[in-house]
């Protein structure tokens, strides 16, 4: 079977911080900002777990150019809605210094249910991610795609990391959001499934043992979506800039298509143990692009930049077929030169010693380029 039977559409969800421009702290104002944003965006903008968060979701896109246009439009309108309330919008995986204890949970049953079930984990869930959906309608083929894609998630995490600070401290991580999220019982990378039936049996067991309410409460770094005919990649922090989000979306779609085609050809793939995947993600969250990461093809530690190059080579045929190689590879090169969001935040803090200045950088990056499209 060829990939022509699947469209490999793209959808991007981004979670944003609502910022008080005077104090630079998180501001629990979603109930004031959301109605303004929904006047223009409708259901494309939603609340999230904390009232200091707001989430957007693009329409179905077929090119990275469409992704860029939609993210520019959505960021612009959310920023405008926040401005009417005297607030700002920031895209980073954590807030540099606001405390989780000062946040207010959104009064929605889904989030109240998380509080009942997970207690302190929900209170500390003041993190902001980017989720990329890739359209694959055949769920059996989607499982085979996930099996192959799981070994390439670490370079995505390293490229998009934007959460070095937590509660006013430099954590030593480039993506501390990843470490907060890893405390949740059904998070991290999935195991390999030999069939869709095996996957569905696990979901059924989780539901019957009252471990989850339904399949939407399985929060792996890559998973079958229960709401859409897609694979959902949940590995990365929210990207500070539109450019970085476009880069991640393009890489994710190319990865999904490459793995799908290899699955259809029944090509062998590295059946890497979960323990190794977990430590690979830890290394990507800890070091980002600055130290060695794990290359599962060679099964050794290599400089992060070498792994990113290997990743680009792996997905290059797909990117070229979409006509997106030049743009996406250029964005990757730019990220490697300028550093990811975490690196840029640390540079500002090193220069000024002010975490408020770091927030200002994130706010500027979030709005970067939205007036030019």
Give 201-245 as a DSSP string.
HHHHHHHHTTS-SSGGG---SEEE-SSSSEEEEEEEEPPSSHHHH
Mean pLDDT, the chain, integer: 95
Reported pTM: 0.96
User: Distance (Å, rounded) from C-alpha 131 to C-alpha 326?
Assistant: 23
Residue 2 has pLDDT above 70, yes or no: no
pLDDT at 218 over 70: yes
Buried b (16+ CB within 10 A) or exposed e, 86-119: ebbbbbbbbbbbbebeebebbeeeebeebeeeee
Is the per-residue pLDDT at 323 higher than 60? yes
Q: How many percent of the chain have pLDDT more than 90? A: 90
Structural domains of the chain, with CATH = 3-367 (3.30.590.20)
CB of 148 closer than 8 Å to CB of 82: no
pLDDT confidence of residue 6: 87
End-to-end CA distance of the chain: 39
Structure tokens at 251: 């890489």
Place of tokens 């998380």: 114
Residue 144 confidence (pLDDT): 97
Q: Residue 173's closest CA among 287, 262, 75?
A: 287
CB-based contacts of 303, cutoff 8 Å, min separation 6: 291, 292, 293
pLDDT over 80 (residue 373): no
pLDDT the model gives residue 372:
47
CA distance 370 to 368: 6
pLDDT for position 77: 98
pLDDT of residue 3: 52
């Amino acid at each position: 079977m060829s990939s022509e039977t699947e469209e490999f559409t793209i959808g991007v969800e981004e979670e944003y911080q609502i910022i008080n421009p005077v104090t630079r702290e998180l501001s629990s104002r979603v109930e004031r900002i959301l109605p303004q944003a929904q006047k223009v965006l409708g259901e494309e903008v939603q609340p999230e777990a904390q009232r200091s968060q707001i989430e957007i979701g693009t329409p179905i896109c077929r090119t990275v150019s469409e992704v860029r246009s939609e993210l520019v439009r959505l960021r612009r309108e959310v920023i405008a809605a926040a401005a009417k309330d005297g607030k700002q919008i920031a895209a980073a995986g954590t807030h540099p210094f606001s405390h989780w204890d000062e946040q207010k949970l959104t009064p929605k049953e889904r989030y109240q249910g998380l509080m009942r079930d997970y207690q302190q984990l929900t209170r500390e869930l003041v993190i902001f991610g980017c989720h990329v959906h890739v359209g694959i309608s055949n769920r059996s083929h989607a499982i085979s795609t996930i099996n192959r894609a799981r070994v390439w998630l670490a370079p995505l995490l390293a490229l998009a990391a934007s959460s070095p600070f937590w509660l006013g401290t430099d954590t030593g991580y480039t993506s501390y959001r990843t470490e907060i999220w890893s405390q949740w019982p059904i998070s991290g990378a999935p195991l390999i499934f030999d069939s869709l039936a095996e996957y569905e049996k696990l979901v059924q067991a989780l539901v019957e043992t009252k471990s989850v309410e339904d399949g939407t409460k399985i929060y792996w770094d890559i998973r079958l979506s229960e709401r859409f005919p897609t694979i959902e990649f949940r590995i990365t922090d929210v990207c500070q800039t539109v450019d970085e989000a476009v880069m991640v979306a393009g890489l994710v779609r190319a990865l999904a298509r490459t793995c799908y085609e290899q699955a259809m050809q029944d090509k062998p793939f590295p059946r890497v143990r979960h323990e190794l995947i977990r430590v690979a993600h830890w290394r990507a969250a800890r070091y980002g692009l600055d130290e060695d990461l794990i290359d599962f093809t060679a099964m050794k530690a290599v400089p992060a930049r070498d792994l990113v190059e290997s990743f680009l080579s792996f997905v290059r045929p797909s990117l070229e077929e979409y006509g997106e190689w030049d743009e996406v590879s250029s964005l990757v090169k730019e990220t490697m030169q300028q550093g990811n969001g975490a690196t840029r935040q640390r540079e500002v803090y090193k220069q000024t010693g002010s975490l408020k200045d770091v927030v200002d950088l994130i706010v500027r990056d979030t709005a970067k380029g939205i007036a030019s499209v």
